[in-house]
Amino acid sequence: MLQTFVLRHANRLALALVALLSLFTILTLGQRSVAADEFSMYWAAEQSLDTILRLYFSPYENNPAGCAIVQHYWGSVFGYGDESLRLLSLVCIWGALWFLWKLSALYGKPSKQHQILSGEASTFEQDSLQRLTIFAVAATTPVIWMAANFARYQAMVILLGLAALYYYLLWFQSHDEETKEGNAKQGNMRYLLLYAVLTGISFYFHYLSAAVFAVCAGLHYLSTLRRRSMAQILVWGASQLGILLLLVPIIITVLTTYSQMNLGTSPLAATNISKPLAGVLFFGATLVGILNGFAVAPWTVWVVVPIALVALYLLIVGARSPLVARNRTSLFFLALPLVLMSLVVIRMYPPLQFYLIPSVQRVGFLAPLWWIVFGAALTLVPRKGLCWALLGIILVCNVYAIATWNVNIVATQQTPPLRELRDFVRAEAKDISRTTITHPFGYRYGMESVGSTTKGSATAVDRYLPGSTGIFWRETDMTGVVDVDSCKRMVAHSTPEFVIVQRNRLHINADNLAQALTESGYALKAEQQLQRQSAVDVWFKAQMLKLPIGGFKEDAVPQPYIYTVRYYRKE
């Protein structure tokens, strides 16, 4: 009965699934404070087009300008609020889901060879069920719905990556079929043009994702070169030349402006971790990220473990079936990106302190394609009861991970409580224009120009508290200790009202500043703890403390709250 209902309403069920997840996303658009590049792109979206271009083609911002430009024009119509800009991300995810639906058809329909080997004829009902199963698995991937709540480049990267992949696969399929038939035609040229244009455009939204896709697609075609005619090779070469022409402004920027940036030897890259160990950590974190979205956090244990067991079983099923194996293109777009990203990440950021997980979100087609393959393998499970049970496990785990990320404001434990800070200051301060706010949000939250009193470091609070005086405070493990005497010299030239935003981990600088304020005649008037961690999170960190892992102790100290804010006023 259930299977009959599903077969009859496959398209409607797919739309219903998208509608439910979209409703949840819309209801949680304002749940979280801004995170990482999301803030800088929020800030840039409101600026003039000239300011955006000068910023993003300068050493002060290492992302391309595409996302900020799109947000700029979107905001000019719908407003520049957090929810409005995140709604744009949801729109991009809808586009990505459309291409997921199209890709599910490519993997859901058995080839003629598979039908002969299995003795089963493909029917419309079988195709519909397979397609819906693949789509349901891939569409509920946490990485997609987490991206829907990010007003940064993730959603746009996923959309462009899946679109470029889809048109490349369509072109290559038609191109390959004509080659096998002895036809020298070039395949559907419209698909080739769309692939080339989308690939070139994607470089203006994220360099790494676009480069990985372009290289993977190029290497994949080169691996088939021996059976191509010269005319076919020339046409493909023209598409690659077209991509390069679209990249001329970026190439000039990389050769000139970006040559001044030495990311590989920055202080953040200093480490004593060996590169082989870094490689193991990278692959492990990436695979976990593929299974459960962006973040490797304690609460993902309850999701990753069952999903990992299901994924392992599906990989075994898929490897033994012609349905998945027939499309060997997948190997180039699944395995090769891991190798390419390993080389980039290990070269530039050996400790992987900040780049364990971003490989998943930054190469937008990777996780969705993995889940398409998992979904295709799921349709091959011989026992239908087991198939439905596995599908249920995947959907429950994915929905739980999506809900946890969107509802839990401390999912990554790195999101600054800017909204909470705004509400606290508005409730306690008498005059915001005479209030100084010291905060640890300079890195990645202050347009990259981190410095103790620079305007760039103040922008992280300027968006939420315009008119206040923001000072980036060096209290994280990125920089050294500032003693009490140095704090006093800064306080001597400060405003009558003062707010300290303290990250509870490594908070010696905040303590020194608080002492300097007290000795300089300021009195503590209000205090509030922010971003409560779950009991599971605190328990998990406490267990980690018991392990013999050197250099891990300070990071793992269990804390009920991540931040503390204190308000001082001069008597």
Stretch (H or E) spanning 438: strand 435-439
Alpha-carbon Rg for the chain in angstroms: 26
CA–CA gap between residue 110 and residue 189 (Å, rounded): 25
CA–CA gap between residue 92 and residue 227 (Å, rounded): 38
Mean pLDDT of 288-302: 58
CA–CA gap between residue 139 and residue 361 (Å, rounded): 15
Higher pLDDT, 251 or 296: 251
Per-residue pLDDT tens digits for 377-420: 888 888 888 988 999 998 888 888 787 776 654 444 456 777 78
Find where tokens 């998992």 sit.
374
pLDDT at 444: 46
Q: Residue 234's Cα: distance from chain center in Å?
A: 36
Q: Is the pLDDT of residue 310 over 90?
A: no
CA–CA gap between residue 165 and residue 332 (Å, rounded): 11
Cross-strand partners of 500: 438, 566
pLDDT at 318: 75
Q: Lowest-pLDDT range, 8-12, 166-170, 345-349, 503-507? A: 345-349
In this structure, how many other beta carbons lie within 10 angstroms of the beta carbon of residue 80? 17
DSSP 469-504: EEEE---STTS----HHHHHHHHTTS-SEEEEEEES
When pLDDT is cut at 50, 70 and 90, the band that residue 157 belongs to is very high
Strand-pair category, 561-570 with 435-439: unpaired
Q: What separation in angstroms does the CA of 500 have from each of 140, 320, 434, 445, 489?
A: 40, 59, 14, 17, 16
Name the burial class of residue 546, with classes exposed (0-12), middle (13-18) and buried (19+) by CB atoms within 10 angstroms of its CB.
exposed
Q: Which of 515, 501, 450 is nearest to 478 (CA)?
A: 450
pLDDT at 364: 82
Per-residue pLDDT tens digits for 190-208: 899 999 999 999 999 988 8
Higher pLDDT, 124 or 143: 143
Q: Which of 107, 139, 124 is nearest to 14 (CA)?
A: 139
Q: What separation in angstroms does the CA of 534 have from each of 25, 289, 558, 562?
A: 22, 21, 10, 11
CA–CA gap between residue 206 and residue 65 (Å, rounded): 9
When pLDDT is cut at 50, 70 and 90, the band that residue 311 belongs to is confident
pLDDT at 196: 94
pLDDT at 561: 84
Q: Which of 484, 564, 494 is nearest to 519 (CA)?
A: 484
CA–CA gap between residue 277 and residue 346 (Å, rounded): 10
pLDDT at 446: 40
CB contact at 8 A, 82 and 34: yes
Q: Is the pLDDT of residue 349 over 90?
A: no
pLDDT at 162: 94
Mean pLDDT of 119-146: 74
pLDDT at 301: 65
Mean pLDDT score of the chain? 75
Q: Which of 300, 306, 302 is nearest to 405 (CA)?
A: 300
Cross-strand partners of 439: 472
Stretch (H or E) spanning 532: strand 522-532
pLDDT at 36: 62
When pLDDT is cut at 50, 70 and 90, the band that residue 428 belongs to is very high
Structure tokens at 494: 């400060």
Instruction: Give, rounded to a whole angstrom, the gap between the first and last alpha carbons of the chain.
Output: 76
pLDDT at 60: 65
pLDDT at 126: 58
Q: Is the pLDDT of residue 297 over 90?
A: no
Q: How many Cα atoms sit within 13 Å of 565 on the Cβ side? A: 25
Higher pLDDT, 283 or 218: 218
